[in-house]
A = this chain, B = another copy of it.
Amino acid sequence: MAWASAAIAERVSHLLGDSSENVVVISITLMVALLCACMIIGHLLEENKWMNESITSLILGLCTGVVVLAITRSTNSLVLEFDEELFFNYLLPPIIFNAGFQVKKKQFFRNFVAIVLFGVIGVFISFAVIAGGCGLIFPALKVQGLEIRDYLALGVIFSATDSVCTLQVLSQDDTPLLYSLVFGEGVVNDATSVVLFRAVESINLVEIDVFTILEVLGEFVYLYFTSTLMGIAVGLASAYIIKKLYFGRHSTDREIAIMILMAYFSYMIAELLYLSGILTVFFCGIVMSHYTWHNVTESSKVTTRHMFATLSFIAETFIFLYVGMDALDLDKWSRSDVTVATSAGLSATLVALVLIGRAAFVFPLSAFANLISRAPDTKISIRQQLIIWWAGLMRGAVSIALAYNKFTAISSINATMITSTIIVVLFSTVVFGLLTKPLVLWLLPPHLRSTDDSEPSSPKESDFYPDIQVPLLVNGEPNGAALMQNNASRQVGPVTSLRMLLRARSSSVHHFWRRFDDAYMRPVFGGRGFVPTIHEVSSEAALEAAQH
């Protein structure tokens, strides 16, 4: 052993010399080792009230950055550089797809109006507040070199709620309403940001007329419509292919491969066509979980569910590590020539504007949503509004990626903008992130939360153990009546007749969809109860034998 370890030590020291050829291997090894460390530390800290996985990863990334800087004597920041392409093409899609795949669909569509309000109108309000605030305050801080276009870009960059952060601090099981609102908003506002960002870059700002505004609005409608449609189309295609091709001759590995590949395909084709890949892959996930997932073997069901969750989990951890390491890119810090005081002032301004910008739409829009809300149990209480406001404050990798995209040119002011973005991201993720869990506990203690959960906990899905198959949804309407009764009995406030009427309508939309789904969609695309449970004795037995 001794000589082997000596030889290894000799090789390591040799390696540190020629860092040119092996940079890729070194950085992959380092990242994988750090990811392992994050998993283990995250597990150990899981019970901790304050910490969450993103903060652990961020801090570990920062520490690694310090160590790397110390070892390379401040010369090597190459290993750590943030790569937009890596982020958007490889890390983001699995996270958003998994969110769509695991989202509580009923809860999500119940709150659809509020989600769209937040995700579309909300971003506009926040954008206006932040862009306007920067335009007013930055000149006072003696920051020169920014044009109107840059202020507008800052508005977009800091208006995008980071859905990845939201996933980390809000729990779908504990606070389903809040989760679906904040996360849904995060997905929808990505599309809004894409359009806004493109509009800011391309529109002639001097001559804005009605026609330009209409054009931007048309672009919005086009983008939402096509992105969603694309996601649904790819999802349905996957369901159809698996249902048709694999009937009677299933192959677990091939099914899983097709699901992964088609999910990824939906994102890439949307990006290729300048749509919102995030919106597309999210809807693809929803459709896949509703149809495709029910057409595959038992093993595929277990595998896909956990595989997508695991890939998403690794990607999330990777992103936070990455952001943490990137924060120590000395090159950018040295290029920015503003004083520490100015830099602090800029960052503080941005954080304040983010706080105000979000408050400016969460409270008014919540009130509006409550006003038009059909079902009383989707009303957003003031405590919930506070959490929505707070949980969406975190800015993450999306902001950093947009900032890198916008402030590419090598200049002092651009470097300053990037370092300010990094400070805001670190501050908001760590400070706001640390406080979110305690805040949720304080504002919504577990005994209050039951009124929040409008969705009854679903009966144990017996799909995994095919012997005890319970035909839950086969006969058209599932346990809808029970659900309504359940909600009614939980009701605390007065139930007016108007509300009753509205609720009946909302329930009838759901009823109509169920009937349409059962009559036209499920017979073609499969889904629960429409595909006989698939056993795959032979291939499974072969695999078992292989394990001997």
Contacts and interface: CB of A to CB of B under 8 A. Distances in A.
A8 interface: yes
A258 interface: yes
A340 interface: no
Interface string A26-42: 10110011011001101
Contacts of A25: 89, 268, 271-272
A462 to B, nearest CB: 9
Contacts of A249: 46
A22 interface: yes
B264 A42 contact: no
A257, A300, A306 interface centre (most CB from chain B within 10 Å):
A306
B4 A254 contact: no
A310 B259 CA distance: 11
Interface string A248-272: 0101111011101110110011011
B254 A547 contact: no
A25 B271 CA distance: 7
A11 interface: yes
A545 interface: yes
A85 interface: yes
Contacts of A430: none
A11 B270 CA distance: 11
B105 A261 contact: no
Interface stretch (A71-79, A221-229, A356-364, A412-420): A221-229
Contacts of A11: 273-274
A113 interface: no
A57 B532 CA distance: 32
B172 A268 contact: no
A447 to B, nearest CB: 20
Interface stretch (A374-382, A438-446, A453-461): A453-461
Contacts of A543: 102, 305, 309
A212 interface: no
Given A36-B261, A222-B7, A253-B310, A172 B241 contact: no
Q: Please state the number of chain copies in the assembly.
A: 2
B460 A272 contact: no
B548 A36 contact: no
Contacts of A258: 36, 39-40
A269 B258 CA distance: 31
A40 B265 contact: no
A32 B303 contact: no
Contact of A273 (B12, B103, B241, B306): B12
A254 B103 contact: no
A229 B305 CA distance: 34
Given A225-B4, A254-B39, A265 B32 contact: yes
A198 interface: no
A209 interface: no
Contacts of A35: 257, 261
Given A22-B272, A225-B4, A32 B261 contact: yes
B460 A544 contact: yes
Interface in A75-103: 85, 89, 102-103
Interface in A523-548: 541-548
A183 to B, nearest CB: 13
A299 interface: yes
Contact of A310 (B42, B104, B260, B305): B260
A245 interface: yes
Nearest to A29: B268
A245 B8 contact: no
Interface in A25-70: 25-26, 28-29, 32-33, 35-36, 39-40, 42-44, 46
Contacts of A29: 265, 268-269, 271-272
Contact of A307 (B8, B307, B313, B541): B307
Given A245-B40, A302-B299, A548 B106 contact: yes
Given A40-B258, A465-B465, 12 more contacts: A7-B226, A11-B274, A24-B85, A29-B268, A39-B254, A43-B246, A102-B543, A106-B548, A253-B313, A256-B307, A289-B547, A460-B544
24 contacts: A4-B229, A8-B273, A12-B273, A24-B89, A25-B271, A26-B272, A28-B268, A29-B269, A29-B272, A36-B261, A36-B265, A39-B258, A39-B261, A46-B249, A102-B547, A252-B306, A253-B309, A302-B303, A305-B543, A457-B545, A458-B545, A460-B541, A461-B544, A465-B465
| The 7 A-B residue pairs with the shortest CB-CB distance in the complex, in nearest-first order | A458-B548, A461-B544, A303-B306, A29-B268, A256-B310, A302-B302, A32-B265
